[in-house]
Amino acid sequence: MRAAQILRHFATDGKLLPHAALRLAKAETLPSSALLNLEFSPRDYIAFLLSIDAEIEHCLMVQYLYAAYSLGGPQVPPEFRDAVRSWQEVILGIAKEEMGHLISVQNILRLIGAPLHMEREDYPWDVPFYPFPFMLEPLTLDSLAKYVYAESPVDWDGGELGDEIRRRVDSQTSSPHQVSELFNTLIPLVKDPNYLPDEAFQADTYPCQANWAEWGRGYQGGNRGNSMGAQPASTPDVLVAPVTCRDDVVNALTAIAQQGEATSGSDPSHFVRFLRIYVDMREKMTQQACDTCLWDQARPADFSEEKWNQLYPAAHLGYRASAAPWSASRKVAINPFVSLDPNNDPALSNSPTTPITHPESALWATLHNLRYRMLLNYLIHSFTLYGGLNVAGLITPRGTIINATFGEMYNLRAISEILMQLPVSATDPKAGFAGPPFQMPYTLNSPFGEANRWKAHLDLLSAAENLIAALFRLAPPERHPFLSTLREADKNMMQIASRILSGDIDRALL
């Protein structure tokens, strides 16, 4: 959603919700600030808030991925490389959980009969509920402070450490928000049967929703991507919550909120994990150790003291902080973009953007954008298909789409890692590296009819072949094996799509 589409639905005080406006409408005098809320019914307003939540989860996921991919490189002193790699693994784990949140919110939208919402803005902007303006940037203490604050509980003080983090955040954005603010508004409305009636929940959508059996795939307990053992014990599962009723929705939203901000329980939340990285990074890069007193001051009021002490990042204090300045991240572009006209800056504010002009980098960036679009299209398509992953050993359309979605996740990581090592500029060798642009496509609207959805996949696969062919001519030989693997996977997907379009599939599964 564009900022203007959201801002007009918020009063200055931010407190007048549609049900309040409806009550006021029956009064003799109606405050002008309530008029716009009359545009919503309760179910529509819930869909509006869920769409905002989906955009927040999507934005956070992409920003966390970019920050994680930026980490490492030859500029990291050898004694700190294991620590930097551990930070990367933790942040990638959090990004995977944000993907689970995004999918679970789509389940809820599907349940109440609202449109799916995979959109997000490309470049910096700031509206109510959004934690901070969207920014693809390397991981620094400043960017990490924003992540800690966004995932923190509303009432978190944090002592001296909390004050330091808020100062860093305030220096970057004038109106930061915590994700918990949205959940504190949304969950009570969903709970209230006098506000959202029971008939809003359509249990027959369950077969089309995402579920753990299909989407969990090795993400249980943070096991995937934890070769350094950096994830705290009992890292939460990736949440993929199918829903059939009000209680399911409340439980799903509560679980999402707790995975982000929880300050109690046995599972370390995003807030806790980001705070541990902040403390560790702060010590290693600025020689400012966080003693046990400072760590204890940062403990949220409802967090077990014993559990908090167990999370104290003392295991890394054996490292001696480097007196010489160093960076945990490569010199990667801020808000990189690729365009036929590099002078066409797509920024929506005064925040920096960086055109990718190096010929090979621009081709990889374009391929990255295309695969990103393919991933989102596959994900959206999965919510229209029945039949599970397989029937009597045969791959179904739904199984094909889910497998393709996972394939594009891996492809995006591989291409991102290439872009993090390629120059951004065709003329300035000191400009640094490109980075993955994650630019949104012109549309994510799903075509009418099942056949047209598969034709749309074939269109994108054909476009991908053009880019792959161009990269074979331009990229060095060491990147050709990956391109060959990508081409072969695409050919297999095109064959399956053609088979489905020919009618060689059980129509009941579509």
SS3 percent helix, strand, coil of the chain, rounded to 5, is 55, 5, 40
Q: What does pTM read for this prediction?
A: 0.89
Q: How far is CA 148 from CA 152, 278, 335, 468, in A?
A: 6, 8, 21, 39
pLDDT of 291-330, one tens digit each?
Answer: 888 999 998 887 888 888 888 886 444 455 556 789 999 9
- 336 and 189 Cβ atoms separated by less than 8 Å: no
Local structure of residue 155 (DSSP, 8 states): T
For the stretch 451-470, pLDDT in tens is 999 999 999 999 999 999 99
Torsion angle of alpha carbons 294, 300, 305, 308, nearest 10°? Answer: -70
Q: What is the pLDDT of residue 503?
A: 78
The residue that leads in pLDDT, 258 or 484, is 484
Output the six-digit token pair for 340: 């036929």
CA 390 to chain centre: 28
Nearest residue to 338 (alpha-carbon basis) of 303, 296, 372: 372
Q: Is the pLDDT of residue 204 over 80?
A: yes
| Average pLDDT score over residue span 81-102 | 94
Q: Give the Cα separation of 442 and 346 in Å (integer).
A: 13
Q: Which residue has the tokens 């993400």?
A: 219
The predicted structure's pLDDT at residue 348: 53
pLDDT, position 14: 46
Contact 95, 64 (CB under 8 A): yes
Condensed to tens digits (0 to 9), the pLDDT of residues 329-346 reads 999 999 999 988 777 766
For range 12-29, the mean pLDDT: 47
Rounded Cα gap, residues 310 and 314, in angstroms: 9
Alpha helix ranges (H) inside 115-158 = 141-151
pLDDT of residue 420: 96
Residues ≥6 apart with Cβ < 8 Å to 51: 1, 109, 114, 117
Q: List pLDDT tens digits, range 221-252.
A: 555 445 555 555 545 578 898 999 999 999 99
Strands 394-395 and 390-391: antiparallel
Helical spans, DSSP H, in 177-311: 179-191, 212-215, 246-261, 270-286, 292-297, 305-310
The neighbour count for residue 140, using CB atoms within 10 Å, is 17
| Cα–Cα dist 143/169, whole Å | 8
The Cα 188–Cα 126 span in angstroms is: 25
Contacts of 135 (CB under 8 A, 6+ apart): 63, 124, 143, 334, 335, 351
State yes or no: pLDDT of 29 exceeds 50: no
Choose between 322 and 48: higher pLDDT: 48
- Please tell me the total number of residues recorded for the chain in this structure: 510
* Cα–Cα nearest to 100, from 250, 241, 273: 241
Radius of gyration (C-alpha) of the chain in whole angstroms: 23
Q: Decide: helix, strand or coil at residue 392.
A: coil
pLDDT at 263: 61
Provide the pLDDT for residue 265. Answer: 56
- What pLDDT is stored for residue 22 in this prediction? 46
Structure confidence by residue, pLDDT tens digits, 59-85: 999 999 999 999 999 999 999 999 999
Would you state the pLDDT for residue 34?
A: 40
Q: In the predicted model, what is the mean pLDDT of residues 122-141?
A: 79
> Does residue 338 contact residue 362 with C-beta atoms inside 8 Å?
yes
Q: Exposed (0-12), middle (13-18) or buried (19+): which is 48, by Cβ within 10 Å?
A: buried
In DSSP terms, which residues pair with 216 in a beta bridge?
none
- 8 A C-beta contact, residue 135 and residue 143: yes
Average pLDDT, the chain: 84
What pLDDT, on a 0 to 100 scale, did the predictor assign at position 308? 86
* pLDDT at position 415: 98
Phi/psi at 155 (5° precision)? -95, 15
Helices 397-419 + 359-382 axis angle, to 10 = 150
| Residues in a beta bridge with 423 | 433
pLDDT of residue 390: 46
Tokens in use for 43? 């179910």
Q: Of all residues in the chain, what percent carry a pLDDT higher than 90?
A: 59
Angstrom CA distances, 441 to 5, 98, 455, stand at: 19, 21, 17
Burial grade of 238 (CB within 10 A; 0-12, 13-18, 19 or more)? buried
Neighbours of 169 (CB within 10 A): 19
Q: How far apart are CA 285 and CA 287, in angstroms?
A: 6
**How would residue 398 be classed by pLDDT, with cut points 50, 70 and 90?**
confident
Helix, strand or coil, per DSSP, at residue 431: coil
